[in-house]
Amino acid sequence: MPTPLPRSKVKKNQTWNAESVFASPKAFDAEVKSLVESLVEVKKYQGHLGGNIDTFLAAMDVIEKISKRAAKVQVYATMSSAVDTGDQQGAANNGKAMSAMAQIGAATSFVDPELLSIGEAKLRQWLKDDPRMKLYEHYFNDLFRKQTHVRSAEVEEVLGMLRDPFGSVRTTVNMLANADFQFKPAHNSKGKKVELTQSTHHAILHMSDRKARQTAWENYNDKYLEHKNTLASNLTSSIKQNVFNMKARKFNSSLEATLFNGDVPVEMFHNLLGIFKKRLPLWHKYWRIRRKALGVKTLHPYDVWAPLTDKKHKVPFERAVDWISDGLAPMGDEYVSIMRKGCLQERWVDWSPNTGKRQGAFSTRVPNDTYPFILMSYTDDVGSMSTLAHELGHSMHAHFASRAQPMFYYLYPSIIAETASNFHQAMVRGHLLNTKTDKYFQIALLEEAMDNFHRYFFIMPTLARFELETHQRVEKGGALTADSMIELMADLFSEGYGGEMNLDRERVGITWGTFTTHLYIDYYSFQYAIGISAANAIAKRILNGVPNAAQDHINFLKAGSSKPPMEVYKLAGVDMTSTQPIEDAFDVLEDYVDRLEVLTGK
């Protein structure tokens, strides 16, 4: 493992194009100040939205412009702090942005209660009277769907003001894990130290050296165990906030509150977990195949990512861009051109591993005059190529949605978000499996596929089960402790491993502590599994040559949140109200497992 570079030593072409958003931190500060001062322009419409159509449209125009400016502030702050969590300027930027977002939320909180007080009849009449109002039809439909759970203007303002202090639990856990944690180095089989950081952890677990994997996995989880009580307190606070919001908005459960807000059927959550539990024997089979392929007597959790052959497949960043472009060729020249230019010229991607870089990877959601930036640590392998493809799927979604929709529709809901990303991986994987026939590269591609499915069809449903149980305990007035959460998580993984894996209960049980993003976004984890199910269904349509399937997907990307999520999926030709796409995705997984069994058995 190469030693991660200090941030100051990273080449410019490997960093995000910060200057395209704000020329300098000073310019960012000036915009934050100006943005907050401009909120007076919003407030002057409070109490006057029902006057006439022109007043309403003028107010929405002001909010649109402020929202666009705010999105740029948030993107800049998020990326600044994520690329180097030890950078105090970046941390300050993030704090300023969070404070500004909270003030904007409070300043605009009067809109929905006031529209509800105007009444549905009058707003429906406006839709008929003026073609300019057509844009707001879905907004009004959704508003009156939520009417029972919208509170008075005063209460909504207070709830808006809570955004900043409530957001501190997520900031705290990220600063703890990404800025403060210093991990003991791993050691390889020759006794040599291997530096362990958030940006190298994933790569070490993919190394062939079992001792390096073991010590990296143990040292990484041990650091979280050292702070288990702080992490438990922090996560419990987040769960209590969700329960508070549930009660404030008069829902029966936090699950219902979250899914209702996103217009997602609660049955979808329970259907997914039901299918997942039914298909667990498939995962048990995979663990057996993996143990046999690795030639080990006992499989351990740190063996889940181990390469199944000694063959190395180096995939430099530029080659990955080429292969991803080839895989997405069915989407058309314009689509591929936008993506390639973003990677190789416009610097959408901050891809060098560096000291202080936040763990994981993400893509930013952006207004139409800002690039959809990506943060990741690229390590020249098939897995990194897959992650890049995934995040580019998010970025292309943001690109199309932000250019097709106004600000209040361009932020597509989380149930939709993981579809475009997994679609990219499915397309690229399908292309390479068909064109790269070398046995060992085929195994590497299938390993990547299993890595992806393991995360989205094993880890995420397991986290969803954990979320449901912990939320229900708090809703019933129960207590959560570090040890009780560790026991719950270990029990869930034990069921998933089915006796085929050695279960280190403490280190496996702290898994909840290592997910410093997903568990702080209420019931987000299960939506990954929904996303990968829809993604494979869409990819199948395109690869099978269904007429207009590629354009259907682009229409899906452009829709943002301009329609209910299940209707947006229908634009892509997929019915996600059915359980069939989930079952079909498990069939895809089963095919990969069977193919891997054949290839590793030869």
Which residues have a catalytic role annotated?
391
Give the C-alpha distances (Å, rounded to integers) separating 483 from 169, 329, 452, 597.
Answer: 20, 50, 29, 38
Helix (H) or strand (E) holding 226: helix 210-226
CA distances in angstroms from 74 to 28, 71, 182, 588, listed in the order given: 10, 5, 28, 38
Task: Determine how many CB atoms are found less than 10 A away from the CB of residue 598.
Answer: 9
Distant-in-sequence, close-in-space partners of 143: CB < 8 Å, separation ≥ 6? 112, 115, 116, 150
What distances in angstroms separate CA 260 from CA 99, 149, 167, 231, 415, one per listed residue? 27, 10, 21, 28, 12
Q: How far is CA 406 from CA 86, 285, 402, 516, 560, in A?
A: 35, 48, 7, 31, 9
> In sequence order, what DSSP letters do the residues of 277-328 get, joined into one string?
HHTHHHHHHHHHHHHHHHT-SS--GGGTT--SSS------HHHHHHHHHHHT
Closest CA to 343 of 375, 327, 321: 321
Q: Cα–Cα distance between 53 and 59 in angstroms, integer? A: 10
> How far is CA 427 from each of CA 390, 432, 527, rounded to the nearest angstrom?
10, 9, 20
Exposure b/e, 313-324, CB count within 10 A at least 16 = b: bebebeebbebb
The answer to whether 224 and 182 have CB atoms below 8 angstroms apart is no
Residues constituting the chain: 602
| Cα gap 125→66, rounded to integer Å | 28
Tokens representing 64? 């649109």
Q: Phi, psi (5° rounding) for residue 192? A: -80, 140
First CA to last CA distance, the chain: 30
Cβ atoms within 10 Å of 154's Cβ, excluding its own:
11
The torsion angle over the Cα atoms of residues 261, 266, 269 and 270, rounded to 10 degrees, is: 160
Of the candidates 446, 450, 454, the residue with the CA atom closest to the CA atom of residue 430: 446
Largest Cα–Cα separation, the chain: 78
Phi-psi region of 52 (alpha: psi -120 to 50; beta: other; left: phi over 0): beta
What would the two tokens of residue 502 be? 């050695």
**Which residue's structure tokens are 């089989």?**
189
φ, ψ of residue 47 in degrees (nearest 5): 90, 0
Q: Which letter, b or e, does each residue of 93-131 get, where b requires 16 or more Cβ atoms within 10 Å of its Cβ? A: bbebbbebbbbbbbbbbbbbbbbbeeeeeebeebbeeee
Is 55:126 a contact under the CB 8 Å cutoff?
no
